[in-house]
């Protein structure tokens, strides 16, 4: 029996792999046979992610992505340790839920740096000779339904997630000749620490209202991992420049 999602022998770098969506993605990709290069700042939590993965030749690379200018040189070192990368999932992200009145420039710059600037530099790093697999490879950015549907207090975050959709479209065209596909995932609300922080600031009745907006309920990190696996896999070989919405019907309602 064939498995169209099979990633046996392929190395995938996952940023934000110390928790939430990045961790679930790393674990699921390992079950599909991928070798994981797990990235985040917290080395202990990265080790925990790898302990939950199916056995394989996985690596953890603790790194602070806010050092954006260092990313391309660092990725060369990563590829020397792992061999060429087949895939990249940029799941590391930062959100500040702040109404415009209290949104600081530092908040905006911090989100822009990790959500967007790091995505660009990671892709630039990926595209270096010897760092990526030349026969075909796949990049996935974690955008959000926040890029598609307005919500108060999320203006700057939404702008960073919208930028990722533009980035994927443009780089899909630029990198097609090199057989590198570039796509976005746009999840709605997913139960992770990031979502828990939103819970902390929303009054109970608002949270209930939020859940009501999801015909299939709020998502789990695994729901996003499955979609990431699809976009990475050879089954998606004709898909590039797209933004796949996974939101339990939130934007359809």
Ligand X SMILES: NC(=O)c1ccc[n+]([C@@H]2O[C@H](COP(=O)([O-])OP(=O)(O)OC[C@H]3O[C@@H](n4cnc5c(N)ncnc54)[C@H](OP(=O)(O)O)[C@@H]3O)[C@@H](O)[C@H]2O)c1
> Hey, which residues are catalytic here?
157
The CA distance from 218 to 231, in Å, is 21
**Is 44 or 135 the residue whose CB approaches ligand X more closely?**
44
Binding mask 172-201 for ligand X (x = CB under 6 A): ---------------x-xx-xxxx------
User: Judged by CB under 6 A, which of 13, 27, 65, 210 binds ligand X?
Assistant: 65
Rounded least distance, CB 132 to ligand X, Å: 20
The CA distance from 185 to 171, in Å, is 15
Output the six-digit token pair for 127.
């595209």
Q: Tell me how far the alpha carbon of residue 51 is from its chain's centroid.
A: 20
Binding mask 122-151 for ligand X (x = CB under 6 A): --------------------x-x-------
Output the six-digit token pair for 67.
């050092």
Size of the site for ligand X (CB under 6 A): 29
Surface-to-core class of residue 31, CB atoms within 10 Å of its CB (0-12 exposed, 13-18 middle, 19+ buried): middle
111 contacts 165 by C-beta, under 8 angstroms: no
Q: Please report whether residue 112 would count as binding ligand X according to CB under 6 A.
A: no
DSSP state of 54: P
Name which of 38, 105, 39 is nearest 70 in CA terms: 39
Rounded least distance, CB 204 to ligand X, Å: 18
Q: Which stretch binds ligand X (CB under 6 A): 29-37, 88-96, 120-128, 173-181?
A: 88-96
User: Judged by CB under 6 A, which of 114, 172, 210, 245 binds ligand X?
Assistant: 114
* Residue labelled with tokens 């790091």: 118
Q: Please report whether residue 42 would count as binding ligand X according to CB under 6 A.
A: yes
Alpha-carbon distances of 8 from 118, 136, 167, rounded to whole Å: 27, 14, 28
**Is 7 or 93 the residue whose CB approaches ligand X more closely?**
93
User: Judged by CB under 6 A, which of 27, 92, 148, 182 binds ligand X?
Assistant: 92
By CB under 6 A, name the binding residues for ligand X: 15-16, 18-22, 40-42, 45, 64-66, 91-95, 114, 142, 144, 187, 189-190, 192-195
């Amino acid at each position: 029996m064939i498995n169209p999602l099979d990633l046996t022998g392929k190395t995938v770098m996952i940023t934000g792999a110390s928790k939430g969506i990045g961790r679930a993605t790393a674990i699921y990709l390992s079950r599909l046979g991928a070798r994981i290069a797990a990235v985040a700042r917290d080395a202990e939590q990265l080790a925990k992610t790898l302990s939950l993965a199916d056995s394989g030749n996985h690596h953890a690379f603790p790194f602070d992505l806010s050092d954006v200018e260092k990313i391309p040189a660092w990725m060369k070192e990563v590829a020397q340790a792992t061999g060429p990368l087949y895939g990249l999932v940029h799941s590391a992200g930062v959100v500040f839920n702040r109404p415009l009145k209290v949104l600081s420039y530092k908040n905006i710059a911090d989100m822009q740096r990790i959500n967007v600037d790091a995505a660009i530099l990671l892709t630039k790093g990926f595209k270096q000779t010897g760092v990526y697999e030349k026969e075909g490879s796949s990049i996935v950015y974690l955008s959000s339904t926040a890029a598609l549907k307005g919500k108060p207090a999320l203006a700057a975050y939404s702008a960073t997630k919208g930028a990722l959709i533009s980035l994927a479209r443009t780089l899909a065209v630029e990198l097609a000749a090199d057989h590198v596909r570039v796509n976005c995932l746009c999840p709605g609300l997913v139960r992770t620490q990031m979502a828990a922080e939103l819970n902390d600031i929303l009054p109970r009745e608002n949270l209930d209202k939020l859940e009501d907006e999801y015909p299939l309920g709020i998502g789990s990190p695994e729901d996003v991992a499955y979609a990431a696996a699809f976009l990475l896999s050879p089954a998606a070989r004709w898909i590039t420049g797209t933004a796949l919405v996974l939101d339990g019907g939130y934007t359809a309602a």
